[in-house]
Amino acid sequence: MGRLVATAACVVLVAAVVTGSTAPPRTIRILQMNLCNSGIAGCYTGRAVQQATALIAAESPDVVALNEVCRDDVAALGEAVGKAGWTVVSAFHPAPDRRTGQATLCRNGQPFGIGLVMRLPRPTQTTTHPGAYPMQDPGDPEERVWLCLAAAGRFTACTTHLAINPAIALAQCRHLLSAVISARPALAAGDFNLRDMRECVPPGYHSRNDEGLQHVVATTGVTLRSGRPIDMAGATDHPALLVAGALTRDTGHD
């Protein structure tokens, strides 16, 4: 797997640093959700996208990280993130099915995986960086992946849904935070399937969680001020996780 490196044209909830920049910290709100929307798992209700749309409207996040979604779910929620005068970009990455060598599929036939939606104050060049972990659970046909969306000169956002097996999830977490994300500042949000992140999060990073398995992790250059779980009214088996923070290193000037 390649190492993610920020360049003038590429960032992943990562913002490059400009020496001598006096721009004030830019606030950022991150909403992490596992929608259980494959239509196959027992937690499926068919109401998750509708509930997520209402939550986005209420909380107005800048970044939405999505796990267990069908491809068209990401486009639908991207429309909900839209705000007059802002640019909205989104990305989706399917989880491979080891049995077929193709994408894991939702019951409706769409690819199943993870997604990101990002709202930016002006048109910005963006780049996607997807990948699959070198360590996988041989007992699970769904291979676990990551997805990063980079906004040039500003920041990068990543999301992931790690393995159910805690030992494999820990190895995947270390790979994401140490081998994939190398630029600063950056944020990674997802269902890590880990309650204790102390063995995964590198020194100098910090995180917020939903008091369960979902986390937002920030590199240096990002301050996470608060985090709280939000009830999803039974639409999925996970709460949403809303985290508020600030980019303390951001080359963008609004």
39 occurs within a structural domain: yes
The sign of the torsion formed by the CA atoms of 37, 41, 45, 46 equals positive
State pLDDT tens for residues 105-136: 999 999 999 999 999 888 888 899 999 999 99
46 occurs within a structural domain: yes
The range of the structural domain enclosing residue 34 comes to: 26-247
19 occurs within a structural domain: no
Query: Which segment of 63-67, 152-156, 165-169, 208-212 scores lowest on mean pLDDT?
Result: 152-156
**In this structure, are strands 26-34 and 63-70 parallel, antiparallel, or unpaired?**
parallel
State pLDDT tens for residues 32-55: 999 999 999 999 999 999 999 999
Q: How far is CA 102 from CA 36, 95, 98, 116, 145, in A?
A: 20, 9, 8, 21, 14
**d(Cα 166, Cα 168) in Å, to the nearest integer?**
5
Residue 206 has pLDDT above 90, yes or no: no
What is the pLDDT of the chain when averaged over all its residues? 87
- Both tokens assigned to 115: 């997604």
14 occurs within a structural domain: no
17 occurs within a structural domain: no
* pLDDT attached to residue 151: 82
**d(Cα 174, Cα 178) in Å, to the nearest integer?**
6
Mean pLDDT over 56-62 rounds to 95
- Both tokens assigned to 105: 């599929």
CATH code, domain carrying 86: 3.60.10.10
If you count them, how many residues does the chain have? Answer: 254
- The number of folded domains in the chain is 1
Residue 249 has pLDDT above 80, yes or no: no
242 occurs within a structural domain: yes
15 occurs within a structural domain: no
**d(Cα 108, Cα 106) in Å, to the nearest integer?**
5
3 occurs within a structural domain: no
pTM of this structure:
0.88
Secondary structure E strands in 136-237: 145-151, 155-161, 187-191, 206-209, 214-218, 222-230
Beta bridge partners of 209: 215
DSSP structure class, residue 221: T
Q: Which of 243 and 20 is assigned the larger pLDDT?
A: 243
**d(Cα 119, Cα 29) in Å, to the nearest integer?**
10
* pLDDT attached to residue 125: 87
* pLDDT attached to residue 135: 97
Q: Give the helix ranges, DSSP H, for the chain.
A: 48-59, 71-81, 166-175
Residue 22 has pLDDT above 70, yes or no: no
